[in-house]
Homo-oligomer: A and B are copies of this chain.
Amino acid sequence: MVSTTPSPSDQLPALRVAVLGAGTVGTEVIRLITQQGEDLAQRIGARLELIGVAVRDAERDRGPHVDAALLTTEPSALVREADLVIEVMGGIEPARGLLLEAMAHGASVVTANKALLAQDAASLYEAADEHGVDIYFEAAVAGAIPIVRPVRESLAGDRVQRVLGIVNGTTNYILDAMASTGAGFDDALASAQELGYAEADPTADVEGHDAAAKASILASLAFHTRVGIGDVHCEGITAVSAQDIAAAARMGRTIKLLSIVERIEDGTEERVSARVYPALIPDSHPLASVAEAYNAVFVEAEAAGSLMFYGQGAGGAPTASAVMGDVVSAARHRVSGGVGPRESNYADLPVASIDELRSAFYVSLTVQDRPGVLAEIAGTLSRHGISISTIHQELLAADEDAPGRAHIGITSHRALESAMTAALDDFSSTSTVLSIDSVLRIEGE
C-alpha cells in the first residue's frame, strides 16, 4: 500500500457541487474549485466535491481542468443530487427550470445569469424562500466587480439615490476605440469582433439589452422594489457617430453607454427610474476614464456619498471569481446555518416613464444656412420650455446636391423628456431643419 499524507481537509465534511455549463466561465469555475480546493475547504469548513458538469456535448474536450468523466448531458438528474448548483450556462431555459428543480431538491444555487434574473427574479427568489436555500448572483452584474453584495449588504443601512454604471465591456471597448482612433461605429465594432471583445452577433451588447438586464437587477436591489427588464428604457450605441464623439470631446466630455438607476423624489410620490443610453459625461467624472472593456459602477447614497467600483466586467476568470465568492457564502451557510439575503421588495415603488424624466441634452442638427435659422430653432426649444446652455454652429462644405447647409450642436439645461420629444417633432416638420443627426443626454454633472 502506498502511504499518503492526508491533507487537512480530508477530515472535513463534503458538499456536493454541480456545475451547469462548461464554457469560458464554467471551465474557470472548475479550475478554481480544483486548484484551490484546499484553501476553499479551510475557508468554508467543508470540501467542495464536484459531482458533475452538465453540457450539451459530452464528447467535446473541455481543456485540462475539466475531468471528462464528470461531463453529463443530463442536468436534471445532476441537480437533484447536489447541495450546491452553479449555473453558468446562460439563457432563460433550461436554466430557469434547472435552478427551480435544484432548489426544490434542497440545493442552494449560484448563477451568473443576468438575462434570467432580469426576466424572472421573482420565481427564483420565491423558490429559495420556499425551500430555505440560498440564491446568489454576484457575477450577473459587472463580472468580477463586487457590486451586488455591496449594494444589497454594505449599503443596506443607507439610502441609495442613484447608480451610474458602465456594465457592458463590449460597448465600452467600442466607444473607447472610437474616441481614441476617430473611427466610426461600424469600423470600431469590426475591430472589436476581430479582437474577441464583441460577438459575431453583437445585438445584445450594442443595442443595450445586456446593460438593461443589469440595470433591472441593480434597480431592484438598490431600491428594494421589483424592476423587470421591461421597465428599463433602453437605447444602444449603434447611432453614435464619430461626429458625436468629436463634438463631445470639444466640450470636454466623453460618450459612455450608461446603465442608470435612480430614485426620483419630486413631489408627493416616490418613484424609480431605470434606463440605458449613451450619454455625454464630463471628462472629469470618474467614469470617463474607464477605458477598453473595463466596467465601473458609480453609486451615490445619502450617507455614504459617492462610491466607485472598478474592474473587469467579463471574461472567464474574472466572472468565475465572483461566482466562487458566492459559492463560499452559500457553502458556509450549509456548514454553519443561516441563509443569505432574500428578496427585499417592500418599497414597491412605481417605475417612472422616460417621458417624465428631466435631463440635459445634446442635440445635433443639420439645418439650412440662412438668416433667422438659429432664432427659429431657439424659439422652438423655448416654446417647449427648453433652455439652451451652449450652441455651436458651423457651415458645412456646400456641394451641388446640398448647398447652404450648416451644422448646429446645442446643449440644453435639464428639460423634460416629453418636451424634448415634442421639440424634435417640430424640428422634423419644418423645412429649416434638414436632419436631426443626434439626440444624446448629458449625465454626471
> How many angstroms from the CA of A138 to the CA of B146 in the assembled complex?
15
Q: How far is the CB of A165 from chain B (nearest CB, A)?
A: 14
Q: How far is the CB of A363 from chain B (nearest CB, A)?
A: 31
> How many angstroms from the CA of A330 to the CA of B305 in the assembled complex?
23
Q: Does A317 sit within 8 A of B, measured CB to CB?
A: yes
Closest to A143 in B: B304
| Set of chain B residues within 8 Å of A305, measured between Cβ atoms | 144, 311-312, 315, 317-318
Check B337 against A146 for contact (C-beta < 8 Å): no
| Set of chain B residues within 8 Å of A320, measured between Cβ atoms | 303
Q: Does A32 sit within 8 A of B, measured CB to CB?
A: yes
Q: Does A385 sit within 8 A of B, measured CB to CB?
A: no
Closest to A31 in B: B303
Closest to A144 in B: B304
> How many angstroms from the CA of A96 to the CA of B153 in the assembled complex?
26
Check A303 against B327 for contact (C-beta < 8 Å): no
With contacts A42-B224, A144-B305 taken as known, whether A153 is within 8 angstroms of B289 at the C-beta atoms is no
> A321-338: contact bitstring with B at CB < 8 Å (1 yes, 0 no)?
111111111001100111
Which among A301, A310, A327, A329 has the highest number of chain B CB atoms within 10 Å?
Answer: A310
> A155-187: contact bitstring with B at CB < 8 Å (1 yes, 0 no)?
111110000000000000000000000000000
> How many angstroms from the CA of A336 to the CA of B323 in the assembled complex?
24
Check A40 against B157 for contact (C-beta < 8 Å): yes
> How many angstroms from the CA of A408 to the CA of B28 in the assembled complex?
49
Check B303 against A324 for contact (C-beta < 8 Å): yes
> How many angstroms from the CA of A50 to the CA of B307 in the assembled complex?
29
Which among A36, A156, A306, A325 has the highest number of chain B CB atoms within 10 Å?
Answer: A156
Which among A138, A303, A321 has the highest number of chain B CB atoms within 10 Å?
Answer: A303
With contacts A303-B32, A303-B317, A307-B309 taken as known, whether A146 is within 8 angstroms of B157 at the C-beta atoms is no
Q: How far is the CB of A15 from chain B (nearest CB, A)?
A: 13
Closest to A9 in B: B346
| Set of chain B residues within 8 Å of A157, measured between Cβ atoms | 32, 36, 40, 321, 323-328
Q: Does A77 sit within 8 A of B, measured CB to CB?
A: no
With contacts A43-B344, A333-B338 taken as known, whether A303 is within 8 angstroms of B144 at the C-beta atoms is yes
Q: How far is the CB of A310 from chain B (nearest CB, A)?
A: 4
Q: Does A308 sit within 8 A of B, measured CB to CB?
A: yes
Q: Does A39 sit within 8 A of B, measured CB to CB?
A: yes
Check A311 against B321 for contact (C-beta < 8 Å): no
Q: How far is the CB of A406 from chain B (nearest CB, A)?
A: 39
Check B338 against A321 for contact (C-beta < 8 Å): no
> How many angstroms from the CA of A155 to the CA of B145 in the assembled complex?
10
Check A146 against B156 for contact (C-beta < 8 Å): no
| Set of chain B residues within 8 Å of A308, measured between Cβ atoms | 308-311
Q: How far is the CB of A110 from chain B (nearest CB, A)?
A: 10
Check A42 against B317 for contact (C-beta < 8 Å): no
Q: Does A354 sit within 8 A of B, measured CB to CB?
A: no
Q: Does A16 sit within 8 A of B, measured CB to CB?
A: no
Identify A329's interface contact among B156, B324, B325, CB under 8 A: B156
Identify A145's interface contact among B144, B307, B327, CB under 8 A: B307
| Set of chain B residues within 8 Å of A42, measured between Cβ atoms | 224, 344, 346-347
Identify A311's interface contact among B149, B304, B312, CB under 8 A: B304
> How many angstroms from the CA of A36 to the CA of B146 in the assembled complex?
25
Identify A150's interface contact among B149, B286, B306, CB under 8 A: B149
Q: Does A350 sit within 8 A of B, measured CB to CB?
A: no
Q: How far is the CB of A38 from chain B (nearest CB, A)?
A: 9
Identify A338's interface contact among B312, B337, B344, CB under 8 A: B337
> How many angstroms from the CA of A329 to the CA of B154 in the assembled complex?
8
11 residue pairs of the A-B complex, CB under 8 angstroms, read A36-B157, A36-B159, A39-B224, A40-B157, A153-B329, A155-B325, A156-B329, A286-B310, A304-B318, A309-B310, A337-B337
12 more CB-based (< 8 A) A-B contacts, given A42-B347, A153-B329: A43-B346, A146-B154, A153-B325, A154-B322, A154-B325, A301-B321, A302-B321, A304-B312, A305-B317, A307-B309, A308-B309, A309-B310
